[in-house]
Structure 1
């Protein structure tokens, strides 16, 4: 079944992550991508300008950050606010939906940081077994 373009005239079916044509997979990719998850967690702290986000997230290129912010904005997780100054000042923050998502992502990232030693030991064991 094809997904409707508008939810105003057609009832949107419930998401099914395991269906190959379900848009939940695209949203999951946006949120759980390396940069998407980091942007969400960072924006829990405060609103940031693009250059501040790029500085705080080590290793992200401007192109990838721009694509990530655009995708998260389209999904309704990030709000882009343009302030009428010269030059214009643009800030990124979380929407209420984005805050809810980021809080869940924070739990995952904290789990990974807390268990990093165990995870890296498992990787080292696996590398020895395949070598």
Structure 2
């Protein structure tokens, strides 16, 4: 079973205004730029991961925060979720096309930051 939602706009002439608190696009921006949202999108950029693989790839995130972050990103249509009916259930997450599109500039940003930082000193 794969779950995801999509943020769509019915009137192409009407644009979202993320500066208004009732704008649905603002919620998506908040989820993507949250403390853990960016890390989830970056971690999933190469391939789909199971919940525990994803948790291990993001140092410092708790299971609770990972679950909340994934729930929001799935609801926003950035991440898909697939549940395998096994005991216990195995849940896999990956980026939707929308998530890949949003994650691409984040990956570029991370690349620019790591290329421009001075080398770490030996401690």
The interval holding the TM-score normalised by the smaller chain is 0.7 to 0.9
Q: Distance in 1 between matches of 2:63 and 2:54?
A: 10
Matches within 5 A, 1:87-98: 87-98=88-99
Question: What are the Cα deviations for residues 66-124 of structure 1, in whole angstroms up to 9, with x where unaligned?
Answer: 1110000000010000112222211001111111111121112222222334xxxxxxx
| Alpha-carbon distance in 2 for matches of 1:69, 1:20 | 22
Q: Please give the secondary structure, in 2, of the residue aligned with 1:37.
A: helix
**What does 1:66-105 align with in structure 2 at a 5 Å threshold?**
66-105=67-106
Q: CA 1:34–1:111 in structure 2 vs 1: closer, same or farther (change >3 Å)?
A: farther
**Larger C-alpha radius of gyration, 1 or 2?**
1
Indicate the residue corresponding to 2:44 in structure 1: 43
| Superposition CA RMSD, Å | 2.2
Report SS of the residue matched to 1:34.
Answer: coil
Q: Unmatched 5+ residue regions in structure 2?
A: 1-7, 119-123
C-alpha distance in 2 between matches for 1:20 and 1:87 = 40
Provide TM-score, normalisation by structure 1.
0.74
> Corresponding residue for 1:27?
28
Higher relative contact order (CA closer than 8 Å, sequence separation 6+): 2
* Bigger fraction of residues in helix: 1
Moved more, 60-69 or 16-25: 16-25
Greater alpha carbon shift after TM alignment, 12-21 vs 86-95? 12-21
